[in-house]
């Protein structure tokens, strides 16, 4: 494998978590990128999103949510900035609608939204992770981000360190097609090549949720653990749905969380409902994200009642469906009994 086009060709067989843990590179082609420019871009976004945008530093990467007035997530973002622009990465299947909705609220603010998905500097997005990834990246980068949710800007592109998985660091490398062509052969020689499914499997094992079209307006941020991941700032000012999000936090009324499972059904997908065998008449939760696990099924993040997580007897589609196998989460699920 010697060219970018060959690297872009996704493998026929899904990668397993074991393969990802060793070291992988995955061209990410299903994410959109919104760019916001203008002297009031930060303050505008600060009033729209669940996280602090006004104090977003040049070396920072943050998660954030965009809620409806009822506090339900319309989108989730990975967010960062450079000297002039704030970037919001989201699922491409909702980008157009979310960008349009945000634009409606700009009004007189000095801020402009644009689609940066195909911009030259971010035309290619590579996901890297596993034990070998750090050494491979050091072929081109003298220094790497020292901790999760940090970034560096480099002549060869922007390198974001995101949440760890499989006991190793994970990165997104945004670069031009020209640079991608020069690094493709080395990456493919030293790492196992995956595609979107491989990247999403690593995200799932990092416990990072992403809202897509199938799950819009289904979850309050805490239901998908967003505040546990630093994606909600409870000290900032108001934003759409803020009162409901804050009430869920401080009154301790939320009794749902998202956890990691394996499902022996390759068709299991985001938006599918799950049922506790102890209460078979109504769903106890919903799949947030799922990705092929290379073992004939999927690994998934599933939002469900805390009681169902504790009982650990949950099935897909109905109380008679395939059983979910609960896996260890990479962080503690706090029940919010405050």
Residue 108 pLDDT: 82
Tokens for 332? 């503690």
The secondary structure of 248-290 as a DSSP string is: HHHS----EEEEEEEES-TT--TT-EEEETTSTTS--EEEEEE
Same fold for the pair 14-251 and 255-327 = no
Residue 1 pLDDT: 42
Low-confidence ranges of the chain (pLDDT < 70): 1-5, 7-12, 250-253, 335-338
Strand partners, 49: 66
Residue 136 pLDDT: 98
Please state, as a whole number, how many other Cβ atoms lie within 10 Å of the Cβ of residue 213. 12
Residue 148 pLDDT: 98
Q: What is the CATH number of domain 14-251?
A: 3.30.1360.120
Q: Mean pLDDT over all residues of the chain?
A: 93
Q: Where are the domains of the chain?
A: 14-251, 255-327
The secondary structure of 111-155 as a DSSP string is: -EEEE-TT-GGGSEEEEEESTTHHHHHTTT-SS--SSSSEEEEET
Q: Which helix (H) or strand (E) holds 247?
A: helix 242-250
Residue 304 pLDDT: 96
Q: Check: CATH 2.40.30.110 for 255-327?
A: yes
Note the pTM of the prediction, 2 decimals.
Answer: 0.95
Residue 333 pLDDT: 87
Please state, as a whole number, how many other Cβ atoms lie within 10 Å of the Cβ of residue 282. 8
Residue 11 pLDDT: 64
Residue 337 pLDDT: 43
Using CA atoms, how far residue 129 sits from 55, 163, 165, 272, 328, in Å, is: 28, 10, 8, 28, 19
């Amino acid at each position: 494998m010697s060219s970018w086009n060959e690297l872009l060709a996704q493998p026929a067989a899904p990668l397993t978590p074991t393969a990802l843990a060793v070291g992988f590179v995955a061209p990410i082609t299903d994410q959109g990128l919104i760019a916001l420019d203008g002297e009031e871009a930060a303050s505008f976004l600060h009033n729209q999103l669940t996280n602090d945008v006004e104090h977003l530093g040049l070396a920072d990467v943050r998660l954030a949510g965009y809620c409806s007035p009822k506090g339900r997530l319309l989108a989730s973002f990975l967010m960062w900035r450079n000297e002039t622009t704030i970037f919001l990465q989201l699922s491409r299947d909702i980008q157009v609608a979310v960008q349009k909705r945000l634009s409606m609220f700009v009004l007189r603010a000095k801020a402009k939204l644009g689609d940066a998905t195909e911009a030259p500097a971010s035309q290619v997005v590579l996901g890297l992770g596993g034990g070998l990834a750090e050494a491979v990246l050091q072929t081109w980068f003298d220094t790497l981000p020292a901790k999760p949710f940090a970034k560096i800007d480099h002549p060869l592109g922007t390198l974001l360190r995101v949440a760890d998985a499989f006991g190793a660091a994970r990165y997104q490398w945004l670069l031009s097609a020209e640079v991608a062509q020069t690094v493709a052969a080395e990456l493919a020689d030293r790492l196992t090549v995956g595609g979107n499914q491989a990247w999403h499997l690593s995200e799932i094992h990092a416990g990072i949720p992403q809202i897509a079209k199938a799950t819009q307006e289904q979850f309050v941020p805490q239901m998908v653990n967003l505040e546990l991941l630093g994606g909600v700032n409870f000290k900032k000012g108001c934003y759409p749905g803020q009162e409901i999000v804050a009430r869920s936090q401080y009154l301790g009324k939320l009794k749902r969380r998202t956890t990691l499972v394996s499902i022996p059904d390759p068709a299991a997908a985001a938006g599918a409902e799950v049922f506790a065998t102890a209460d078979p008449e109504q769903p106890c939760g919903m799949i947030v994200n799922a990705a092929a696990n290379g073992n004939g099924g999927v690994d998934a993040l599933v939002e469900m009642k805390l009681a169902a997580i504790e009982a650990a007897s949950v099935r897909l589609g109905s109380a008679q469906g395939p059983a979910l196998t609960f896996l260890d989460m990479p962080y503690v699920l706090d029940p919010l009994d405050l």
